[in-house]
C-alpha cells in the first residue's frame, strides 16, 4: 500500500472535523480529512424534494445562543435566512391538551417541578470544573431518580417524563441529572430548551445547513477523501499511522472528530487505557427518526376542531408545521424519539413509510396518509453515526470531563459528543473542533 503523508490528518468530515481542518488550514498546516461515509456533514443532512427545494433531516438551524457557529458562518460569507415570525411555545402550550386532562393538583405539581429544576440549575456554573463537589454529587443521579423522589401521581409522573424526554433529547433514566440541569442553565430554562428543540426562531443558509460544511471544504481540494473508514491507528514517537482499506496515511498529529460511540471500535496501538474505554462505553445511543412531508394543503387547519401545531403525542412523536415550499401547500416536520423511533429501526422500506403514514393518519386524520412527497431518515441506519445523538447517563460527566477530552499522545479528540459546554449540538461540534485545532497548533 502507498503511504500518504500530511502534517495533520483529521478523521471525520462532520461539522467538528471540518471546523478543525478549517482552523488548521488557516494556520498554514498541511491537512488531510478522511471520511468513512460517501458524504460530508455527519449529523447535518440537507435533502431536496423533487421540485428542488431543500429541507433539513438533521440539525435544523442556528439559534441565537450559538455564538461560535454564527462566527464560523460569518467567516464563510454565508447569509442566514430567518424563518417567519412565530409565537413562543412553552411546555404549557405544547402539552395543553394533556395538562387539561389532569386534576388541578397534578398540574400544579408539574409547574412546581419545572420551577424547582430551573432554580437548582441557576445555582450551577455553566461549566463546572471536574472537581466541583456539587456537580459530582448531582451527576451520581439520573433525571429519573430526581423525578421519582417527587410526590407525583402516576399520570403527572408519566407526563413529566414525556416533557423531560422532549427537552433533554433522551429518556429520563438515560440522562444524568447534572447534564439536564446544565442544559437548563445554558439554554435559558425550560422555555429556552423548548424553543431549541422545536427549532423556533432558528436561521439557516439559503442553500441549507449542508452549505456550511461545503464552505469549510473549499480549501481542502484533494485533501478531502471520502469512503475511507479508518480501521486502525498506531502511534510512535515520530507520528501516527492510519490504516484504511484504501491505503496507509501518516501524520505528525491526528484529530479524531468521530462520534464517541465509534472510538471504541477503532484499533488503537498502544491500546486505549482502561478508564478511557470504560468511559466511552458509558455512552447511550438515542434512537431518532426525522421526516419531512409535503401536502396539497394544510388540512390540519381545516379540521373542526382545528389541530394546533406543534403537537407532542404520547410515545415520542413531535409534529412541527414547516414553511410551505409553494403557496397554498402544507408542510410538516416529524421527529420520533425513544420507543417510537425504535419501531422504525425494526423494519425496512416500504414498511417504514407505511408506519409513518399510519401514525400521522391516526393523529391528524385521513388526509395525512397521502402526502405529495415524503423524506424519511432513520439515524440508526447510518453506519458511521448510529444515532442522531448520545447521552451521558448518571456518572458519565464525572468520567468524561476530566479524561476523555485529553490528547492521547499525538492523537487529539473532537466531535460534538465531547464538547465541554454544548455537547451533542452544532455549537458543541464547532467548540470541540476549534479546541482540538488549538491543541495541535500550541504544540507547533
**HSE-CB of 160 using CA atoms within 13 angstroms:** 27
The answer to whether 82 is annotated as binding is: no
Distance, CA of 277 to CA of 438 (rounded, Å): 25
* Structural domain total, the chain: 3
Distant-in-sequence contacts of 54-57, Cβ < 8 A, 24+ apart:
54/207, 54/208, 54/210, 55/208, 55/292, 55/322, 55/331, 55/333, 55/375, 56/204, 56/208, 56/209, 56/292, 57/290, 57/291, 57/292, 57/375, 57/377
Range of the domain at 130: 92-198
Residue 16 annotated as lining a ligand binding site: yes
Q: Which of 172, 198, 224 is the last residue of a domain?
A: 198
Burial of 102-126, coded b for 16+ CB within 10 Å and e otherwise, reads beeebbebbeebbeebbebbeebee
Give the whole-angstrom CA distance, residue 341 versus residue 343: 5
Q: Are residues 290 and 275 in the same domain?
A: no
* 268 and 410 share one domain: yes
Write phi, then psi, for 373 (nearest 5 degrees).
-150, 155
CA proximity to 230, closest of 24, 32, 409, 440: 32
257 annotated to a ligand binding site? no
CB 220 within 8 A of CB 33: yes
**Annotation-wise, does 35 bind a ligand?**
yes
Find cell 439559503 and name the residue: 206
Residue 401, pLDDT score: 64
pLDDT of residue 402: 65
User: pLDDT 10s per residue in the chain (444 long)?
Assistant: 678 999 999 999 999 999 999 999 999 999 999 999 999 999 999 999 987 889 999 888 998 889 999 999 999 999 998 887 777 777 887 888 888 888 988 899 899 999 999 999 999 988 888 778 899 899 999 999 999 888 888 888 888 998 998 888 888 998 999 999 999 998 889 988 888 888 877 899 999 999 999 999 998 989 999 999 999 999 999 999 999 988 999 999 999 999 988 888 888 999 888 777 777 777 778 889 999 999 999 999 888 777 888 888 777 789 999 888 888 899 999 999 888 898 998 899 999 999 999 999 999 999 999 999 999 999 989 888 877 777 778 888 776 766 778 899 999 999 998 888 888 889 999 999 999 999 999 997
Query: Would 388 be classed as within a structural domain?
Result: no
**Do 261 and 319 have their domain in common?**
no
Strand partners, 391: 284
What number of residues does the chain have? 444
* 220 domain-assigned: yes
Which grid cell is 364? Answer: 391528524
Q: Are residues 217 and 171 in the same domain?
A: no
Considering the domain architecture, whether residues 277 and 404 belong to the same structural domain is answered as yes
How far apart CA 25 and CA 8 sit, in angstroms, is 10
87 domain residue, yes or no: no
Query: Which of residues 198, 231, 259 is at a domain's end?
Result: 198
What's residue 13's pLDDT? 97
Q: What is the CATH number of the domain that holds 357?
A: 3.90.660.10
Q: How many CB atoms lie within 10 A of CB 243?
A: 16
Amino acid at each position: 500500500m502507498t503511504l500518504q503523508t500530511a502534517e495533520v490528518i483529521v478523521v471525520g468530515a462532520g461539522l467538528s472535523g471540518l471546523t478543525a481542518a478549517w482552523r488548521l488550514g488557516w494556520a498554514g498546516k498541511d491537512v488531510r480529512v478522511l471520511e468513512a461515509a460517501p458524504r460530508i456533514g455527519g449529523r447535518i443532512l440537507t435533502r431536496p424534494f423533487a421540485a428542488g427545494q431543500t429541507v433539513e433531516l438533521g440539525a435544523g438551524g442556528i439559534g441565537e445562543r450559538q455564538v461560535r457557529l454564527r462566527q464560523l458562518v460569518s467567516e464563510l460569507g454565508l447569509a442566514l435566512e430567518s424563518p417567519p415570525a412565530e409565537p413562543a411555545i412553552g411546555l404549557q402550550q405544547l402539552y395543553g391538551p394533556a395538562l387539561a386532562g389532569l386534576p388541578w393538583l397534578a398540574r400544579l405539581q408539574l409547574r412546581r417541578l419545572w420551577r424547582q429544576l430551573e432554580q437548582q440549575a441557576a445555582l450551577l456554573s455553566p461549566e463546572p470544573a471536574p472537581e466541583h463537589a456539587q456537580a459530582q454529587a448531582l451527576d451520581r443521579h439520573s433525571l429519573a431518580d430526581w423525578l421519582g423522589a417527587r410526590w407525583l401521581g402516576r399520570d403527572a409522573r408519566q407526563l413529566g417524563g414525556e416533557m423531560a424526554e422532549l427537552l433533554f433529547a433522551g429518556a429520563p433514566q438515560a440522562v444524568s441529572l447534572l447534564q439536564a440541569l446544565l442544559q437548563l442553565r445554558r439554554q435559558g430554562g425550560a422555555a429556552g430548551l423548548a424553543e431549541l428543540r422545536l427549532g423556533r426562531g432558528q436561521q439557516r443558509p439559503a442553500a441549507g445547513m449542508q452549505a456550511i460544511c461545503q464552505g469549510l471544504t473549499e480549501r481542502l481540494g484533494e485533501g478531502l477523501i471520502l469512503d475511507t473508514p479508518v480501521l486502525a491507528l498506531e502511534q510512535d514517537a515520530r507520528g501516527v499511522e492510519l490504516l484504511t482499506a484504501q491505503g496507509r496515511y501518516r501524520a505528525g498529529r491526528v484529530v479524531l472528530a468521530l462520534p464517541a460511540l465509534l472510538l471504541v471500535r477503532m484499533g488503537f496501538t498502544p491500546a486505549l487505557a482502561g478508564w478511557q474505554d470504560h468511559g466511552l462505553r458509558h455512552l447511550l445511543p438515542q434512537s431518532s427518526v426525522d421526516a419531512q412531508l409535503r401536502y396539497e394543503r394544510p388540512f390540519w387547519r381545516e379540521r373542526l376542531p382545528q389541530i394546533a401545531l406543534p403537537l407532542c403525542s404520547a410515545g415520542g412523536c413531535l409534529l412541527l408545521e414547516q414553511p410551505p415550499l409553494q403557496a397554498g401547500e402544507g408542510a410538516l416536520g416529524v421527529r420520533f424519539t425513544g420507543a417510537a423511533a425504535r419501531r422504525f429501526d425494526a423494519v425496512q422500506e416500504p414498511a417504514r413509510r407505511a408506519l409513518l403514514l399510519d401514525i400521522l393518519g391516526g393523529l391528524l386524520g385521513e388526509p395525512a396518509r397521502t402526502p405529495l412527497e415524503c423524506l424519511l431518515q432513520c439515524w440508526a441506519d447510518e453506519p458511521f453515526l448510529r444515532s442522531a445523538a448520545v447521552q451521558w447517563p448518571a456518572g458519565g460527566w464525572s468520567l468524561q470531563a476530566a479524561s476523555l477530552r485529553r490528547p492521547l499522545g499525538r492523537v487529539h479528540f473532537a466531535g460534538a459528543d465531547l464538547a465541554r459546554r454544548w455537547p451533542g449540538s452544532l455549537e458543541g461540534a464547532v467548540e470541540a473542533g476549534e479546541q482540538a485545532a488549538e491543541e495541535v497548533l500550541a504544540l507547533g
